[in-house]
């Protein structure tokens, strides 16, 4: 699929309207990642010919659609904590996510509620985006939990969003010190990032 930002934003705008707070500002929507970050990751995926992804933290679904535009398959994980913040049931949220993805024409997105729900036989993931719960050990544990699904046949890459948050940065440090990853801060214009790291092995 070719990245079509207009299609993504139109679908997201329709979907975000019922929220009426949080992610919706005067009719336009924003993901938690910036467009500069989203475009950087999409270019990276294309340039490195990455195919199979896992995203932790669907959120607005905008990051999901960006990534799915350039991957063959994307599993997106969200336990629905955002639904409670926005005073919605998880079921409502899941239906809205699915409607939005279908409307935008994405058939390569598979939603699950936890990493444990991912098919145990899946061992070919070469791209991960960690953007779920940023508290405590969650970022560290998300990285550990996806390990069984990552390819060992070629290099795989894990992107970490919000590394200005010390808990997320602790997850990056753990990957480098204890899990054998190399790592690098992605340098983007300061006003256009919340901190984005990539680790790879």
Ligand X SMILES: C[S@@+](CC[C@H](N)C(=O)[O-])C[C@H]1O[C@@H](n2cnc3c(N)ncnc32)[C@H](O)[C@@H]1O
Nearest approach in angstroms of CB 133 to ligand X is 3
Cβ proximity to ligand X: between 53 and 59 the closer is 59
Nearest distance from C-beta of residue 154 to ligand X, angstroms = 25
Contact call for residue 67 and ligand X (CB under 6 A): no
The tokens describing 177, both together, are: 């010190």
* Residue closest to 102 by CA, chosen among 41, 61, 49: 61
Rounded distance, CA 23 to CA 28, Å? 9
- In the complex with ligand X, which residue's Cβ is closer, 138 or 181? 138
The β-bridge partners of 97 are: none
Q: Is 118 in the site for ligand X (CB under 6 A)?
A: no
* Lookup: tokens for 17: 């309207």
How far is the CA of 19 from the CAs of 76, 94, 110, in angstroms?
20, 14, 23
Total site size for ligand X, rule CB under 6 A:
20
Give the whole-angstrom CA distance, residue 159 versus residue 39: 13
* Residue among 25 and 154 whose Cβ is closer to ligand X: 25
Which residues 141-200 are close enough to bind ligand X by CB under 6 A?
Answer: none
Residue 127 or 138: the one with the smaller Cβ distance to ligand X is 138
* Least distance in angstroms from the C-beta of 123 to ligand X: 21
Q: Which of 11, 45, 74, 77 is the binder for ligand X (CB under 6 A)? A: 77
Complex with ligand X: residue 153 or 196, whichever CB lies closer: 196
Segments of the chain assigned E as strands: 24-25, 28-29, 52-56, 73-77, 109-112, 127-130, 157-161, 182-185, 196-200
From the CB of 153, what's the least distance to ligand X, in Å?
27
Contact assessment for residue 139 and residue 166, using Cβ atoms and an 8 Å cutoff: no
The site map against ligand X for 22-51 (x = CB under 6 A) is ---------xxx------------------
Q: 112-148: buried (b, 16+ CB within 10 Å) or exposed (e) per residue?
A: beebeebeeeeeebbbbbbbbbbeeebbbebbebbee
Q: Interface with ligand X includes 139 (CB under 6 A)?
A: no
If the CB atoms of residues 194 and 200 are measured against ligand X, the closer one turns out to be: 194
Chain residues binding ligand X by CB under 6 A are 31-33, 56-60, 62-63, 77-82, 131-133, 138
């Amino acid at each position: 699929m070719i990245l079509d930002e207009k299609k993504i934003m139109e679908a997201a705008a329709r979907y975000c309207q019922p929220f009426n707070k949080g992610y919706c500002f005067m009719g336009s929507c924003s993901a938690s990642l910036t467009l500069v970050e989203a475009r950087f990751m999409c270019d990276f995926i294309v340039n490195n010919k990455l195919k199979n992804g896992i995203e932790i933290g669907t959120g607005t679904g905008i990051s999901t659609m960006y990534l799915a535009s350039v991957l063959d398959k994307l599993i997106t994980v969200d336990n629905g904590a955002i639904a409670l913040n926005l005073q919605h049931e998880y079921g409502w949220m899941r239906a809205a996510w699915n409607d939005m993805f279908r409307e935008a024409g994405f058939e390569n997105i598979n939603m699950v509620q936890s990493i444990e729900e991912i098919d145990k036989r899946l061992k070919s993931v070469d791209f991960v985006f960690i953007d779920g719960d940023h508290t405590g050990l969650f970022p560290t544990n998300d990285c550990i939990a996806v390990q069984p699904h990552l390819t060992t046949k070629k290099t795989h890459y894990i992107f970490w969003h919000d590394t200005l948050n010390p808990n997320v940065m602790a997850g990056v440090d753990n990957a480098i010190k204890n899990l054998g990853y190399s790592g690098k801060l992605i340098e983007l214009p300061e006003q256009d990032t919340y901190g984005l790291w990539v680790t790879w092995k």
